[in-house]
């Protein structure tokens, strides 16, 4: 029987984040936290998110006919705005409080959520910095990345270049073969240690900063890597002048009605406490 809203577990209780986790995040630009949700908590949300992806993702091309970006994952964005059950997940205060603590801020706003399902046989995710896409005048951004199923490393869990966030914004490269090649060389040249997330249980979470270089291997397994992500930024952030077409498009889509210099606080960016 399908999950109803009243079946969904309450995700407002605190996760016990340790100072060590925060120190690690500040040093490395990413941190892996185990069991942010229990398997019992995650199961009904998984059902809701998988159904929402089925209803709202319209990719119909076989993997072989897509480019590198299209092969990497089925991307379905801002599901919280179209599905009340997903909304309960995306706006959960347990997650937002971790995000705020990691960034050392009072409170956070939502940028957007996105389901990223790397299909069985799906391709690698090239090296990139998320910040390339965002017209936000801050370094205080963080992405929550949570598998909804147990994800083994051969399904494509994330790899991070530790400490790369401290190098700041490294240039206008969208997720592509070119970003993979450029940043692969840069990672080697700069000698950033690599951190592979390895096997993750459903409900484990990695958080990474907006300028942390990351990629993911292909999904060599026969199972879909079902992942939900939520992007947060510090409350009080202003909108920066977009300097590439992706940032211009993001401004229109995720910060509707706002312009450079405005507080990033549209109706799509609720404060989450
Ligand atoms: O899930 C992936 O393969 C990539 C995820 C990613 O780049 C992100 O969440 O910022």
Domain ranges of the chain: 38-272
**Residue located via tokens 């199972």:** 223
Cα(50)–Cα(44) distance, integer angstroms: 10
Q: How far is the CA of 16 from the centre of ligand 1 (A)?
A: 25
| pLDDT band per the 50, 70, 90 thresholds, residue 157 | very high
User: Is residue 114 within 6 Å of ligand 1 at its C-beta?
Assistant: no
Q: Burial, 240: exposed, middle or buried (Cβ in 10 Å; 0-12, 13-18, 19+)?
A: middle
φ, ψ (nearest 5 deg) of residue 75: -110, 120
Question: Does residue 1 carry a pLDDT above 80?
Answer: no
pLDDT of residue 183: 98
**Structure confidence at residue 64 (pLDDT):** 96
Q: What is the model's pLDDT at position 115? A: 98
Mutate to test the pocket of ligand 1, among 30, 122, 158, 230 (most ligand atoms within 8 A of CB): 158
The 10s digit of each residue's pLDDT in 252-273 is 999 999 999 999 999 999 999 8
Kindly state which CATH superfamily the domain 38-272 is placed in: q2cbj1_9rhob like domain (2.60.120.620)
Q: Give the separation between CA 1 and CA 101, rounded to whole angstroms.
A: 38
């Amino acid at each position: 029987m399908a999950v109803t809203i009243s079946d969904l577990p309450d995700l407002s209780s605190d996760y016990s984040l340790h100072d060590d986790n925060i120190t690690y995040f500040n040093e490395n630009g990413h941190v892996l936290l185990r069991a942010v949700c229990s398997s019992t908590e995650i199961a009904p949300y998984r059902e809701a998110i998988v159904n929402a992806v089925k209803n709202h993702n319209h990719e119909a091309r076989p993997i072989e006919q897509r480019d590198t970006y299209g092969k990497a994952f089925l991307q379905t964005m801002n599901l919280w705005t179209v599905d009340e059950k997903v909304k309960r997940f995306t706006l959960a205060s347990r997650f937002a409080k971790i995000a705020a603590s990691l960034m050392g801020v009072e409170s956070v706003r939502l940028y957007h959520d996105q389901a990223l399902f790397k299909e069985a046989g799906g391709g690698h995710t090239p090296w990139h910095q998320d910040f390339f896409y965002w017209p936000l005048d801050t370094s205080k951004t963080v992405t929550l990345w949570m598998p909804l199923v147990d994800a083994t490393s051969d399904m494509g869990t994330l790899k991070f270049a530790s400490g790369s966030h401290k190098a700041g914004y490294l240039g206008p490269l969208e997720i592509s073969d070119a970003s993979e090649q450029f940043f692969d060389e840069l990672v080697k040249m700069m000698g950033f240690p690599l951190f592979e997330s390895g096997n993750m249980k459903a409900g484990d979470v990695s958080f990474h900063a907006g300028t942390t270089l990351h990629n993911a291997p292909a999904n060599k397994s026969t199972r879909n890597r079902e992942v939900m992500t939520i992007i947060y930024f510090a409350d009080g952030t202003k909108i920066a002048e977009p300097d590439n077409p992706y940032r211009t498009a993001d401004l229109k889509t995720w910060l509707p009605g706002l312009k450079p210099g405005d507080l990033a606080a549209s109706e799509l960016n609720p404060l989450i406490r």
